[in-house]
Amino acid sequence: MKIIPTPLEGVVLIEPKVFGDERGYFFESFSAPRFEEQVCRTTFVQDNESRSRYGVLRGLHFQKGKYAQSKLVRVVRGTVLDVAVDIRRGSPTFGKWFAAELSEENKLQLFIPRGFAHGFAVLSEEALFQYKCDNLYAPAEEGSIAWNDPDLAIDWRLDPSEVILSEKDRHHPTLREAPYLFDYNENLYE
């Protein structure tokens, strides 16, 4: 696998080596020893999958405190714009975001470490999205940032009139209003 750094410390794109022939293709989507050697040391404990239609935007989400999660995300079918936002107060890139198009064609994965909010928007007719988490989901410890925070000014590559949100995702605070954020100097992996 090829590790591609991003402008956000710890957030990396992962490009797998794909072997294709007339039968189809094969690639290794995850290897714990390689991941630890090339990205970071963490243990994934939960796999999730969602299916969404064009215009669905999920985010920006994170888990608080000791429930913080790293995510390794990929698209099995379709295309999404995947976004990570640095929400670590004191970080040189606090409030900055990185976006990557993930698709069944490019087979890219994005690793989002603890201390970042995450969201994605579906750009294809439908998308099947899978992700690994290194901490179990704790509903009472959810944190969130508004997808349309004007200070972040994320280009979701969708017309705002086409965006489909859950009721919960309609009411998130802006980064400035967020009651909980991370501290850049805090070790989130202890």
Q: Catalytic residue, from 54, 118, 131, 172: name it.
A: 131
CA dist., res. 30 & res. 14, Å (int):
10
d(CA 123, CA 78): 8
Asked if the bond preceding 72 is cis, omega within 30° of 0, the reply is no
Whether residue 171 lies in the annotated active site: no
Catalytic residue status for 189: no
Contacts with 18 (C-beta within 8 Å, 6 or more apart), sequence order: 25, 26, 27, 107
Bridge pairing between strands 182-183 and 88-89? parallel
Out of 54, 61, 67, 171, which one is annotated catalytic?
61
Contact, 143 vs 63, CB < 8 A? yes
Q: Catalytic site residues?
A: 61, 131
